[in-house]
């Protein structure tokens, strides 16, 4: 057995043992929600092991890095030919992105060889399916149509994102969410919630008469915070209802507000402490900010498209049709 294949098999064996250890350390693996992800990882390990076993260095040395060349560019090398059709580095990179995260620590050359061999096998099987007419079946056409729509959606959104999400937009959102006065100023808020104005006046009179705010909250408040003496913890302005925020941030420390009405009832508010929150480093929240901007772009684009589109929905005769496999194959 070639040395490279033996090494690959040893690495794969370690990966399987690692997953096995994770299973043994998990105290509850009987539920479907726990077992399914573990089986998915094991299945991925087996596929990778097959690719490693058949990696015989027939397509040359791997590139120094599985980076992301543009398809069709000079850096998008041909890594294999299968009956005249080419497999490129971009194909390998796309296949690598589908691997479970457990394989990120494997050496690049091991991952490269395994993926190229899997892509060769896939190309052979796909070509045979094409030759025998599988591509013309109703199930194949349905799947192709479904996947093509997903791919076009994703590619279109990538182009849209590249145009509208920049470092500048991320920095602007960071400043708004984490550096603005509304984001960094916090109040330690306490509240009493009662059902009507008469009960609110009664609670306020008790406090003005010298009773502790927390004791009144435990005795009269109908909110779940009553067991904590009305303590809601630290809140920023953005975390509160606009009316409540205006009242709370206008209070001095230990000052009790007059009764304030909301859809939940009547409130008495008290601020027991103020502080300035330390913002997180930009790099720590960059991914979250980008995701938030992405969702904003997507929502805006979909909204515009819906305004221009003619959309008509139809009711299903029965929701049990969602479980039908025969319909999907038509």
| φ, ψ at 310 (rounded to 5°) | -100, 110
User: Could you tell me which of 102, 270, 275 has the C-alpha nearest to residue 185?
Assistant: 275
pLDDT for 124: 95
Measure the CA–CA gap between 223 and 184, rounded to whole angstroms: 27
- The whole-angstrom separation of Cα 233 and Cα 192 is 14
| Main-chain phi, psi angles of 78, to 5 degrees | -80, 125
pLDDT of the residue at 161: 78
Give the three-class secondary structure for 23. helix
Q: What is the pTM of this model?
A: 0.48
pLDDT the model gives residue 203: 96
Q: In a structure prediction context, what are the per-residue pLDDT tens digits for the chain, which is 330 residues long? A: 443 334 444 444 444 334 334 433 443 333 333 333 433 343 344 444 434 333 333 344 445 555 555 555 667 889 999 999 999 998 999 888 888 888 878 888 888 889 999 999 999 999 999 999 998 888 889 899 999 999 998 888 888 777 788 889 999 999 988 888 777 889 999 999 999 999 999 999 999 999 999 999 999 999 999 999 999 999 988 888 888 999 999 999 999 999 999 989 999 999 999 998 888 899 999 999 988 998 888 899 999 999 999 999 888 777 666 566 565 555
End-to-end CA distance of the chain: 47
What is residue 192's DSSP assignment?
Answer: E
> What is d(CA 324, CA 322) in angstroms, rounded to the nearest whole number?
6
pLDDT of residue 102: 81
């Amino acid at each position: 057995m070639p040395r490279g294949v033996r090494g690959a098999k040893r690495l794969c064996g370690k990966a399987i043992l690692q997953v096995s250890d994770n299973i043994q350390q998990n105290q509850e693996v009987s539920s479907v929600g726990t077992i399914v992800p573990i089986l998915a990882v094991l299945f991925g390990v087996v596929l990778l092991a097959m690719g490693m076993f058949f990696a015989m260095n027939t397509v040359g040395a791997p590139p120094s890095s599985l980076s992301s060349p543009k398809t069709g560019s000079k850096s998008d090398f041909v890594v294999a030919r299968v009956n005249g059709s080419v497999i490129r580095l971009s194909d390998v990179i796309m296949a690598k992105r589908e691997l479970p995260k457990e394989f990120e620590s494997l050496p690049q050359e091991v991952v490269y060889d395994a993926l190229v061999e899997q892509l060769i096998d896939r190309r052979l099987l796909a070509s045979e399916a094409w030759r025998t007419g599988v591509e013309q079946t109703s199930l194949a056409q349905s799947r192709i149509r479904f996947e093509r729509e997903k791919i076009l959606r994703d590619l279109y959104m990538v182009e849209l994102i590249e145009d509208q999400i920049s470092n500048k937009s991320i920095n602007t959102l960071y400043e708004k969410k984490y550096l603005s006065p509304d984001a960094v100023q916090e109040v330690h808020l306490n509240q009493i919630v009662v059902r009507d104005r008469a009960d609110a006046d009664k609670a306020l009179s008790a406090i003005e008469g010298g009773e502790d705010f927390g004791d009144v909250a435990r005795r009269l408040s109908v909110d779940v915070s009553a067991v904590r003496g009305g303590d809601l913890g630290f809140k920023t302005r953005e975390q509160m209802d606009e009316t409540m925020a205006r009242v709370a941030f206008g209070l001095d420390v230990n000052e009790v507000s007059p009764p304030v009405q909301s859809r939940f009832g009547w409130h008495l508010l008290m601020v027991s402490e103020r502080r300035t929150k330390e913002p997180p480093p930009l790099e720590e929240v960059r991914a979250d900010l980008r995701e938030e901007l992405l969702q904003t772009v997507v929502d805006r684009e979909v909204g515009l498209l819906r305004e221009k589109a003619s959309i008509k929905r139809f009711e299903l005769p029965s929701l049990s049709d969602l479980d039908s496999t025969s319909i999907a194959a038509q």
